């Protein structure tokens, strides 16, 4: 199976952050013999929706599976292959962490879908900062109508709506593989001991502070042999 790990970072500060996180991403990709790709120029405005280009990347380059991680993510050296076969031996799945189990995001999904003439009954609401998807689920990357880009948690709610409109089944991702601050507190995780993928979601208001935090955590993980 031809696979790649994709991230994206736009603007000087995000690319500065990526310099800290990218070595771990590249090490993960090398460890599991998959390609690595960093998108550093937006293909659409608003830039968050550039994530939808993954569908085109898969088709154009023949990738059967993509793992996506935001630039504000640290992958530990002992992180397992998130895209390995599922319990039935298939690598064709859509795998992400369902934050809708403990954060009320589903009402916003229903209302946004209704605004575009869609009707959904939410079964999940995933965080799209870390996910794995195969080329059997290209509908996930369906674009909004030209010039209309809803800003409900960026592109995240839009992608969740697409997953429901296309009737996709979710393979749940363990919270240790998308360990955000809110996840740590809810599940009682310790990012330095329990997490395999640390995600600094919602902390980009002060990029300088975020970069220093990620540098500090990167050093602590190295001290722990991770």
Task: Record the pTM.
Answer: 0.94
E strand residue ranges, the chain: 3-8, 35-39, 65-69, 73-75, 94-98, 126-134, 170-172, 197-199
Phi, psi of 72 (to 5 degrees): -90, 55
pLDDT of residue 31 exceeding 90: yes
| pLDDT score of 104 | 83
Using alpha carbons, list the distances in angstroms from residue 85 to 82, 114, 119, 154: 9, 35, 32, 30
> 10 near 16, Cβ under 8 Å?
no
SS3 of residue 64 by DSSP: coil
Strand ranges of the sheet holding 65-69, from the earlier edge strand across to the other edge: 35-39, 3-8, 65-69, 126-134, 94-98, 170-172
Buried b (16+ CB within 10 A) or exposed e, 103-141: eebbebbbebbeeeeeebebebbbbbbbbbbbbebbebb
Q: Which of 65-79, 83-97, 161-175 has the lowest mean pLDDT?
A: 83-97
Both structure tokens of 16: 């500065």
Higher pLDDT pick, 75 / 92 = 75
pLDDT value of residue 87 = 63
Asked if 39 and 7 count as a contact pair (C-beta separation under 8 A), the reply is yes
Residue 96 has pLDDT above 90, yes or no: yes
Under DSSP, the state recorded for 193 is T
Banded model confidence at residue 152, pLDDT cuts 50, 70, 90: confident
Mean pLDDT score, 172-198: 94
Whether the upstream peptide bond of residue 17 has omega within 30° of 0, thus cis, is no
pLDDT band at 92 (very low <50, low <70, confident <90, very high): confident
- Cα separation of 173 and 195, whole Å? 12
Are the C-beta atoms of residues 28 and 79 closer than 8 Å to each other? yes
Distances (CA, A) of 2 to 56, 62, 65, 101: 15, 7, 7, 32
């Amino acid at each position: 199976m031809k696979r790649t790990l994709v991230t994206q970072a736009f603007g000087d500060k995000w690319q500065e952050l990526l310099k800290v996180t990218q070595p771990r991403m590249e090490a993960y990709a090398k460890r599991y013999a998959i390609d690595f790709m960093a998108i550093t120029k937006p293909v659409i405005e608003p830039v968050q929706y550039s994530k939808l280009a993954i569908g085109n990347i898969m088709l154009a380059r023949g990738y059967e599976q993509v793992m996506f991680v935001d630039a504000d993510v640290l992958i530990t050296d002992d992180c397992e292959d998130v895209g390995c076969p599922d319990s039935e031996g298939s690598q064709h799945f859509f795998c992400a962490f369902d934050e809708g189990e403990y954060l009320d995001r589903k009402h916003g999904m229903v209302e946004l879908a209704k605004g575009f003439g869609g009707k959904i009954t939410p079964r999940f609401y995933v965080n799209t900062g870390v996910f794995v998807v195969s080329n059997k689920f290209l509908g996930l990357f369906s674009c909004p109508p030209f010039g209309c880009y809803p800003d409900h948690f960026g592109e995240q709610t839009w992608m969740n709506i697409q997953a429901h409109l296309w009737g996709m089944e979710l393979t749940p991702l363990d919270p240790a593989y998308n360990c955000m601050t809110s996840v740590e507190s809810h599940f009682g995780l310790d990012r330095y001991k329990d997490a395999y993928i640390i995600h600094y979601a919602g902390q980009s208001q002060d990029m300088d502070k975020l970069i220093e935090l990620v540098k500090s955590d990167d050093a602590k993980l190295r001290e722990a042999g991770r």
